[in-house]
Chains A and B, each alone.
Chain A
Amino acid sequence: MKDEVESREDRVGKLKGLGCSRKRVEDARFTQGKGNYVDDIKLDGMLFGDFVRSPYAHARITGINIDAALKVPGVLAVLTAKDLEPLGLHWMPTLAGDRQMVLADGKVLFQGQEVAFVVAEDRYAAADGIEAVEVEYEELPVLVNPFESLKSDVVLREDTVDEDGAPKDGAHGPRKHHNHIFTWEAGDRDTTEQVISEAEVVAESDMYYHRTHPCPLETCGCVASMDKVNGKLTLWGTFQAPHAIRTVVSLISGIEEHNIRVISPDIGGGFGNKVGAYPGYVCSVVASIVTGKPVKWIEDRMDNLMTTAFARDYHMTGRISATKDGKITGLHCHVTADHGGFDACADPTKFPAGFMNICTGSYDIPTAFLEVDGVYTNKAPGGVSYRCSFRVTEAVYFIERMIEVLAIKLNMDAAELRRINFIRKEQFPYTAALGWEYDSGDYHTAWEKALKAVDYEGLRAEQAQRIEDFKAGKTRKLMGIGLSFFTEIVGAGPVKNCDILGLGMFDSCEIRIHPTGSAIARLGTISQGQGHATTFAQILASEIGLPADSITIEEGDTDTAPYGLGTYGSRSTPVAGAATAMAGRKIRAKAQMIAAYLLEVHDDDVEFDVDRFVVKGAPERFKTMKEIAFAAYNQAIPGIEPGLEAVSYYDPPNMTYPFGAYVCVMDIDVDTGVPEIRRFYALDDCGTRINPMIIEGQVHGGLTEALAVALGQEIAYDDMGNVKTGTLMDFFLPTAWEVPNYETDHTVTPSPHHPIGAKGVGESPHVGGVPCFSNAVQDAFRPFGNVHTNMPHDHWRIWKTAHDLGLHG
């Protein structure tokens, strides 16, 4: 038989399992324009809804006249808060424990806020209807700066104060001021203050991590279809967490969960923007119930940039202390977090500042304290994790800047300062001062590999020569060497401390093996471009010995997929990937019993070997998984139920902690402020590598979004609360032209608690990339006295740094 002559290696290769750069099975349809996105859904009689939005950042609404709009041909209805109020739907809960207006309830709190929902026969009629709605506004004082907001007499939210005007408690405890949302602390305040006050060296820095936006290629949208005959609501949408959306819709609408079917079709990128619930979803559902017809809502690009889920906007103040030899002794961080008009952060509920308390980074810092104050302003709500786990980008940027600032204070090489302070390999599992237990790591090995790969000493020598040349007038370009070493915290998370609105953050996989030896697996996650249909099949192929090409992966339909919390925060591989492996192992356990029966030996006398069970010591006697699958359905086996299926709900024991070492080499034209990235080296350790090609793609994408954020991408407001960057002309999305050639590398430190040792990688390059690009810019100016300048480092801000340092003569 052919199987007998086939080598073990050949059999492993045929599976296309773990470690194989298997081509993405999704790409056949995406590259042929055959994807099925929410705006591709067209149903009989479908209507289109769109919003009248506020031109003002803060105003009272004194009247809304919809008469003229209702006369526009094709316009069927215009919903306002008054229509939603009897249903209790004029406000909705946010994931952060706050509430948010669905439609403006008497006032607006940010430019672009949803005021009325126009329902029409098509989107053209809806656009004309929007123009015809007359809204009377009475402008109110605008607060766009959180520090001013905390001092202002202006009450942004009437529901934050009692009858006497005193601040009421919020979702996370007492308010310090009526515009204050919460205070969140981690670590030991008193000891940290003491350590810093007694330290030999203390470095300090203020830094603003500007507001930006995930800006996925596809904007947010949905189609709601209420079937009044059978009472079932179907909701298609760009949801990163379809099951959670179903539960939330049920809780706020009163429709029983079995009567709601939520479907996430193909999604064109999420990056956190599609985690939360938006007024468009609620209004579409209501409009479908009212009209009895399907209703579609699709954001345009400006709606997306101006109103749905921004990221970052953290004002951070840091103090870091060390011995004069460079051993870090303490870290203090205060954050003033600008959340806009509503607190709609998408964090686990117990973590109003996400995992910002990973801000001790990759370093063995014995004492630390973090305090975050959330503040309301007249800006759009959000605060999502743009290609990162919850607020981890902010945390890593903070510590990687503080390390650089400390290196300047110590007059020490920043690579050496990191080396001195890394958590050592033998310290893992390592409990950090702010509470997290890092599962594994080997930072020194990764760091040395990275520095050697780029010839770090040589780069510094070249930089020294460049500075000489610059001072001698031979060049107008400075050279910056950006370093960053990051530790991510992903895979939320253990149900004991991670939930969103009470929903535990486990995830799931359900597998059915078909009689002829192929399979379908369904998961509680949803790909938005990550390639789950490719990689989860690979995990399963290695676990159950059927080729990945014979395994279909399905996600996103709550009527068929098992319950799970969705895809964000690099949680799919750590949580659903683990569930997949565990469900696969259940399949294998049953297959072992069937194989033993077929081979007429005891269960313990067979062992799994790639794609089959073999009799121990007699490898010529075996049953392939394909044969076992057929027997499972078609042969009566005493004591064993027919069929071969399994389900696993996986509650991870811990987060996973991917890490990496990045180096960026940049030339900067001091006269024009134009940076040129000469080299970018990225070493990632994401534990066990499932598909190296997909990892490489993730790293390229994450680094490009990091480049964008560091070098220009922002949501900027003027003093009146007008968004200045509401189109792709001004919101910086780099093209292939602006992106350098990336060099990727890796080490492998498997997670000790994950079934296959994988840690997640999609967000690492963004988390590590932002400080690396920023550090390169700052390093170029370090010899001339620069300590810290804020991002984004666009041309004029780089030029200004040069100008302020006197480099323009």
Chain B
Amino acid sequence: MIPASFEYYRPKDLDGVLALLRDHGDDARVMAGGHSLIPMMKLRMAEVPHLIDLQDVAGLRGIEVGAEGIRLGAMVTQSEIIAHDGLAQAAPILREAALQIADPQVRNMGTVGGNVANGDPGNDMPGLMQCLDAAFTLVGPDSERQVAARDFYEAAYMTAREDDEVLTAVTIPLPKGGHAYEKQKRKIGDYATAAAAVQILKEGGSCASASIAMTNLSDTPIFCEEAGAALVGSTLDTAALDAAVAAMQAAIDPSEDNRGPVDFKRHVAGVILRRAIERAWSRA
């Protein structure tokens, strides 16, 4: 559990980060909270000859809640998300989800940027951001671009981010309606056996829009448009719920691990989604 030797950098600004990335290419990685990368390095599953700590980089922190939306700096920690009252007002699902990530010690270090950028299918924030239709700001040597969370994930640990780009911020349109983040896990600190992020808007007693994303049930988070569509226009009767669950189950592709076999995960994913929808609807 000891990493191979590496050079450690702690630049003060983004230009410094980008310069290091340019100089070292594949051999360099940026580190935010370190709670995914450092264990991988200790297990020698990730070799990072040049480690760039983002701790001191200016401009990567801060939570801004505006009329149009929310901006989270990449280095905002999960603890900061939980503690921010304005955020809890504007997008309560963020606090509900963050409270289900790991434990307080990890949440003091773990960042939203690290969580979404790493591409670990076990992480909770990617699915959550897909549910909320967030966009990620990627800054490269010559340009800055926005990529939708729903387009960002390609495979486990594979994302749309280029090696010379840094994820600097997450922007989230203000969510509307009722929300729920439902997660089954074996114990505190565990990744999800299955987790569902749901945001539902109710108008005139029926569902006007619904957004659904699932976590740790494929090698990427699964945003399931069909599942949301199955609810729209309904009063969330049994038939609509069954259709949403069936659509979700068709979209996921869980694999067997110590949490259980595939048929168990599919079943639990259905139960968890049903509960999440019901809770979101009750708040809508």
Interface residues of A (CB under 8 A from B): 123-124, 127-128, 131, 300-302, 671-674, 712, 716, 724-725, 729-730, 732-735, 737-738, 794-796, 799-800, 803, 808
Contact = CB atoms under 8 A, between A and B. Distances in A.
Given A128-B4, A737-B187, A738-B188, A730 B260 contact: no
Contact of A300 (B1, B186, B259): B1
A674 B182 CA distance: 14
B188 A735 contact: yes
Interface string B246-284: 000000000000111100100110011000000000000
Interface in B89-148: 103
Nearest to B103: A735
Contacts of B4: 127-128, 131
B268 A799 contact: yes
Given A796-B260, A796-B261, A301 B1 contact: yes
Given A796-B260, A799-B260, A672 B187 contact: no
Given A795-B260, A796-B260, A734 B187 contact: yes
B59 interface: no
A738 B1 contact: no
Interface in B1-47: 1-2, 4-5, 44
A800 B267 CA distance: 11
A800 B187 contact: no
Contact of B186 (A671, A724, A732, A800): A732
Contacts of B2: 123-124, 127
A725 B259 CA distance: 11
Contacts of B191: 729
A729 B190 contact: yes
A672 B268 contact: yes
| Residue from B2, B4, B267, B268 with most neighbouring chain A CB atoms (10 Å) | B2
A730 B122 CA distance: 14
Given A671-B271, A735-B189, A800 B264 contact: yes
B184 interface: yes
Interface string B219-252: 0000000000000000000000000000000000
Given A128-B4, A716-B258, A799 B267 contact: yes
B259 A795 contact: yes
Nearest to B4: A128
A732 B260 CA distance: 14
B193 interface: yes
**A-B pairs with lowest CB-CB distance, top 6:** A796-B260, A127-B2, A300-B1, A796-B264, A737-B188, A730-B258
B122 to A, nearest CB: 9
Given A725-B258, A795-B260, A674 B267 contact: no
29 contacts: A123-B2, A124-B5, A127-B2, A127-B4, A128-B4, A131-B4, A131-B44, A671-B268, A671-B271, A672-B268, A712-B187, A716-B258, A724-B258, A729-B189, A729-B190, A729-B191, A732-B186, A732-B187, A734-B187, A735-B103, A795-B186, A795-B260, A795-B264, A796-B193, A796-B261, A799-B267, A799-B268, A800-B264, A808-B267
Interface residues of B, number: 23
B268 A735 contact: no
A33 to B, nearest CB: 16
A635 to B, nearest CB: 61
A222 B69 CA distance: 57
A732 B268 CA distance: 20
Interface string B186-214: 11111101000000000000000000000
A121 to B, nearest CB: 14
Contacts of B271: 671-672
Given A301-B1, A302-B1, A671-B271, A795 B258 contact: no
B184 A738 contact: no
A301 B271 CA distance: 35
B4 to A, nearest CB: 7
Nearest to A737: B188
A300 B3 CA distance: 13
Contacts of B193: 795-796
Contact of B184 (A123, A672, A724, A729): A672
Given A131-B44, A302-B1, A796 B187 contact: no
Contacts of B184: 672, 674, 795
A301 B200 CA distance: 44
A733 B189 CA distance: 11
A219 to B, nearest CB: 11
| Residue from A301, A795, A800 with most neighbouring chain B CB atoms (10 Å) | A795
Nearest to B3: A127
Contact of B264 (A127, A674, A724, A799): A799
Contacts of B259: 795-796
A127 B6 CA distance: 14
Contacts of B187: 712, 732-735, 737-738
Nearest to A736: B188
A436 to B, nearest CB: 38
Contacts of A124: 2, 5
Given A128-B5, A734-B187, A671 B267 contact: yes
Contacts of A131: 4, 44
Given A672-B271, A796-B264, 14 more contacts: A671-B271, A673-B264, A729-B190, A729-B191, A730-B258, A734-B187, A735-B103, A735-B188, A737-B188, A794-B260, A796-B193, A796-B260, A796-B261, A799-B267
B227 to A, nearest CB: 19
Contacts of B1: 300-302
A131 B1 CA distance: 12
A725 to B, nearest CB: 6
Contacts of A795: 184, 186, 193, 259-260, 264, 268
A794 B261 CA distance: 12
Nearest to A728: B189
| Residue from B103, B191, B268 with most neighbouring chain A CB atoms (10 Å) | B268
Interface string B35-67: 000000000100000000000000000000000
Contacts of A799: 260, 264, 267-268
Interface string B169-190: 0000000000000001011111
A673 B190 CA distance: 16
A772 to B, nearest CB: 20
Contacts of A733: 187
Nearest to A734: B187
Contacts of B260: 794-796, 799
Contacts of A712: 186-187
A142 to B, nearest CB: 20
A733 B191 CA distance: 15
A803 B271 CA distance: 14
Contacts of B190: 729
Nearest to A130: B2
Contacts of A671: 267-268, 271
Nearest to A476: B271
A671 B266 CA distance: 11
Nearest to B271: A671
A785 to B, nearest CB: 20
A300 to B, nearest CB: 4
Contacts of A724: 258
A455 to B, nearest CB: 31
A795 B189 CA distance: 16
Contacts of B264: 673, 795-796, 799-800
A128 B259 CA distance: 33
Nearest to B260: A796
A730 B191 CA distance: 10
B149 to A, nearest CB: 25
Nearest to A124: B2
A794 B5 contact: no
Contacts of B261: 796
| Residue from B258, B260, B272 with most neighbouring chain A CB atoms (10 Å) | B258
A732 B190 CA distance: 10
| Residue from A124, A795, A796, A808 with most neighbouring chain B CB atoms (10 Å) | A796
Nearest to A738: B187
Nearest to A730: B258
